[in-house]
Amino acid sequence: MIVITGATGHVGHALAAQLAAEGHAVRGLTRDPARATLPAGVEAAPADFSGPAGLKAAFAGADALFLNLAGVGDATEEVVTAAVRAGVTRVVMLSSGAVTDDEADDRGVIATWHVAAERTVRAAGVEWTMLRPNMFAVNTLAYAGQIRAGDEVRAPHGDAAQAPVHERDIAAVAVRALLDDGHHGRAHRLTGPEAVTTAEQVLTIGAALGRPLRFTELSGREAAALYAHMPPQVVEEMLDALGASVGTPPEITTTVRDVTGVPARTFAQWAADHVADFR
Ligand SMILES: NC(=O)c1ccc[n+]([C@@H]2O[C@H](COP(=O)([O-])OP(=O)(O)OC[C@H]3O[C@@H](n4cnc5c(N)ncnc54)[C@H](OP(=O)(O)O)[C@@H]3O)[C@@H](O)[C@H]2O)c1
- CA dist 124 and 14 (Å) reads 26
Per-residue pLDDT at 229 exceeds 90 = no
Tens digit of each residue's pLDDT (9 = 90 or more) over 92-106: 999 999 999 998 888
pLDDT of residue 53: 64
pLDDT of residue 131: 98
- CA dist 249 and 135 (Å) reads 14
71-80, 130-139, 211-220: which has the highest mean pLDDT?
Answer: 130-139
The architecture of the domain spanning 2-133 is: 3-Layer(aba) Sandwich (3.40)
**Residue 153 one-letter amino acid:** V
Which residue's C-alpha comes closest to atom 36 of ligand 1?
6
Q: Mean pLDDT across the stretch 264-279?
A: 98
Tens digit of each residue's pLDDT (9 = 90 or more) over 6-25: 999 999 999 999 999 999 99
Mutate to test the pocket of ligand 1, among 93, 94, 113, 131 (most ligand atoms within 8 A of CB): 94
Say how many Å lie between the CA of residue 7 and the centre of ligand 1: 8
Mutate to test the pocket of ligand 1, among 13, 27, 30 (most ligand atoms within 8 A of CB): 30
Say how many Å lie between the CA of residue 73 and the centre of ligand 1: 10
Task: Tell me the domain boundaries of the chain.
Answer: 2-133, 137-163+193-278
pLDDT of residue 223: 85
Average pLDDT over all residues of the chain: 95
pLDDT of residue 94: 98
Question: 26-57 burial by CB neighbour count: b if 16+ within 10 A, else e?
Answer: bbbbbeebeebebbeebbbbebebeeebebee
Maximal CA-CA distance, the chain: 54
Tens digit of each residue's pLDDT (9 = 90 or more) over 48-59: 998 766 798 999
Quick one: fold of 137-163+193-278? Rossmann fold (3.40.50)
Q: Binning pLDDT at 50, 70 and 90, where does residue 184 land?
A: very high
Q: Which residues line ligand 1 (CB under 6 A)?
A: 6-12, 30-31, 36, 47-50, 68-71, 94, 96-97, 133, 135-136, 138-139
The closest-lying atom of ligand 1 relative to the alpha carbon of residue 50 is: 31
Q: Number of H helices and number of E strands within the chain?
A: 12, 11
Domains 2-133 and 137-163+193-278 share a fold: yes
Per-residue pLDDT at 246 exceeds 80 = yes
Say how many Å lie between the CA of residue 254 and the centre of ligand 1: 25
Q: Which residue has the higher pLDDT, 227 or 39?
A: 39
